[in-house]
Structure 1
Amino acid sequence: MNNLVTALSSLGWNEDWDVQAASFDNKERLIVRVMVEHRGAYEVSDGGSSWWAELPGRFHHTTHSRIEYPAVGDWCLCVPKAGGKLTLETILPRRSRIVRQAAGRRAEPQVIVSNVDTMFIVTSPNNDFSPERLQRYLALVSHQPITPVIVLNKADLAGEIEQWISEVSDFAPDVPVVTTSALQSSPADDLAPWLGVGKTVVFVGSSGVGKSTLLNRLLVTSRQSTKDIRQGDDRGRHTTTRREMFVLPGPACHGVVIDTPGLRELTPWLGDIPVEHLGHATQELVDQCRFADCRHRGEPGCAVQEAIADGTLSAEALENIHKLSDEQRALRARTDEKARLTKKQADKRLSRAITQFYRLRDH
């Protein structure tokens, strides 16, 4: 058992997870962590061995939302089955999760990764740099116990790097900013404050900003393929095609890191959280507005508009907040409509079942 615990600890297992697992019937069940998710298939590991795991058939009939499906970073209890595969029986309650609106027209949440401590938002000081996109990434973890860190990669290509750092401070003054160069500096040193035994970090960002190159430097090997950005528009080209977890080898750095592909659609799934409460700076301003229902669009006594006037907050940051807020209202409306239709269909099925019951009874 000690060897098993040691192996699991390399993936981030600790005594708190022991307590979680003890509340489930885990006899004859393997404790594993989801390392890879690729089109409904899951590669899991106990720190020593790896398997492909499948969901039991009943799971698809009893699950009401995509948010309940396994994600990279989940701790699970599995049962061995024939052919060297596992059946994934239980997902331990998540301590943190990064959730977005799933790609497509349907209003439903999708867990990108779970049980992470730090999210490295990787961007580069060129045409890829987008305050609006960075704010969206920050919104993903605004009410999660996850530390966001903005990583300005390829800093060697930028002339005035301080200018880029200042631009980040305009809309995210409380978020740490790290400058690095995957080819010239030591990412292990630059990111060291957030790495360590038992820690799980995730790289997110657009394609071509150097996430996979950073990971290769941390792993001291070329595990992930890389491609240069396109000339002319600095646009990235997809190299990572799936979410995947890696164990850092040490001795320079320890912990586990998750690599993710660039997201073509990035709409945070915030539920009922007001968009204006996504950052400490804007939340403090919102609390100072004269009216509790202030929408920060010209109302009298608006502290947010006053902050823009005196330069404390950028107008672009507020514009991005308004845009995200409008998207969230539309998303909630679609979600409410979906719930209404689902309930209506369930009521119809129940009504038909009751009618059928009385018909059979009377005959």
Structure 2
Amino acid sequence: ATPARVIGQHRSQLELLTERGKQILPLLPDMPALVVGDWVLLDTDGLFIRLLERLSLFSRKAAGSKVTTQHIAANVDTVFIVDSLNSNFNLNRIERYLVLAHDAGVEPVVVLTKADTCADPQQYVQQVQALDRMLMVEAVNALDPANVSVLADWCGNGKTVAFLGSSGVGKSTLINTLSGQPEQETGTIREQDAKGRHTTTARSLHFITNGGIEISELAAQCRFSDCQHQNEPGCMIQKAIQAGELDQRRLNNYLKLLREQAFNGASIAEKRAKDKDLGKLYRSVQAESRRLKEGQ
């Protein structure tokens, strides 16, 4: 058997990399759902045998009204969370990506691009590092190979890095500079709103200062176990906000994430219950059909 890595995903086929080079693997109905980064075993004819165990897996809620999980990438060592030092900079978005990295079990590194166009990149670096004093944050000019060399330690042999970030923050430019060749198409930016054109197709939030304050730990200290952290007496989170130890924006984002997780969890449970009921109905119909046949 030959190991192969999934390096490209298309509608009806996968692009694989083996020790002999690249090859195409057609997608068949009996194959498991594979994603970029997966390791698979192939037989001597280059046909799929099985999927190897994943060490990490990025997933998210798929677009649409139905709550389904969409797998994004597997076996990632580090994720570069990319944001830009212009009007597109968004701490809430960075936090959401940090939650995604945490759930996937992957080391996050925040990369702030367009440092060459920012008068004071360090103020943005400090804002991001306030989320977690152990978080690695680098401000770079994505067009300058010497400047992005600070990321080299995460890009060594045998390492797999994923890039997360909104359109226009410089992910493709960063990939091209790191690889030394134009791997990804890049697009222009609308200067009036810093938006880019689309050219490329557990659950704790941390506020760390002087030893660290964790929202989930503060919540456990509230007087009431069902505290909503609004105006309830004995709320330790509100006490921390009033003392200037916790930012109200952090709490708002934390509560928003909890609401989304509760909604997704309830929707998935509801779907499973419906599937279970359908299964019972199907088995009942089968049993009745067999009974009628035996009575003939």
Q: Does 1:75 align with 2:35?
A: no
The offset of 1:324, in angstroms, is 1.6
Task: Please give the per-residue CA displacement for 1:294-339, whole angstroms capped at 9, x wherever unaligned.
Answer: 3323333333222222222211111111112112211122111211
Higher relative contact order (CA 8 A, sep 6+): 1
Q: Does 1:135 align with 2:95?
A: yes
CA distance in structure 2 between the partners assigned to 1:56 and 1:45 by the alignment: 19
Distance 1:228 1:310, change over 3 A: farther
Which 10-residue stretch deviates more, 163-172 or 332-341? Answer: 163-172
- Aligned counterpart for 1:329 among listed residues 226, 244, 262: 262
Q: Does 1:204 align with 2:164?
A: yes
In structure 1, the residue matched to 2:284 is 351
Q: Does 1:194 align with 2:154?
A: yes
One-letter amino acid matched to 2:249: E
In structure 1, the residue matched to 2:84 is 124
In structure 2, the residue matched to 1:215 is 175
Contact 2:167/2:196 (8 A) holds in 1: yes
In structure 1, the residue matched to 2:250 is 317
CA distance in structure 1 between the partners assigned to 2:259 and 2:183 by the alignment: 40
Distance 1:39 1:230, change over 3 A: farther
Q: Within 5 A, what are the aligned runs for 1:298-309?
A: 298-309=231-242
* Count of paired positions: 290
Contact 1:187/1:214 (8 A) holds in 2: no
TM-score (norm 2): 0.90
CA distance in structure 2 between the partners assigned to 1:170 and 1:188 by the alignment: 23
The offset of 1:137, in angstroms, is 0.6
Contact 2:83/2:111 (8 A) holds in 1: yes
Q: Within 5 A, what are the aligned runs for 1:21-36?
A: 29-36=1-8
CA distance in structure 2 between the partners assigned to 1:40 and 1:295 by the alignment: 47
CA distance in structure 1 between the partners assigned to 2:103 and 2:142 by the alignment: 30
Q: Does 1:285 align with 2:194?
A: no
Contact 2:140/2:148 (8 A) holds in 1: no
Q: Does 1:41 align with 2:1?
A: no
CA distance in structure 2 between the partners assigned to 1:162 and 1:356 by the alignment: 72
Contact 2:205/2:254 (8 A) holds in 1: no
Contact 1:170/1:314 (8 A) holds in 2: no
TM-score (norm 1): 0.74
In structure 2, the residue matched to 1:234 is 194
Over the aligned positions, Cα root-mean-square deviation in angstroms equals 2.1
Contact 1:119/1:201 (8 A) holds in 2: yes
SS state at 2:6 partner:
strand
CA distance in structure 1 between the partners assigned to 2:293 and 2:61 by the alignment: 45
Which 10-residue stretch deviates more, 141-150 or 109-118? Answer: 141-150
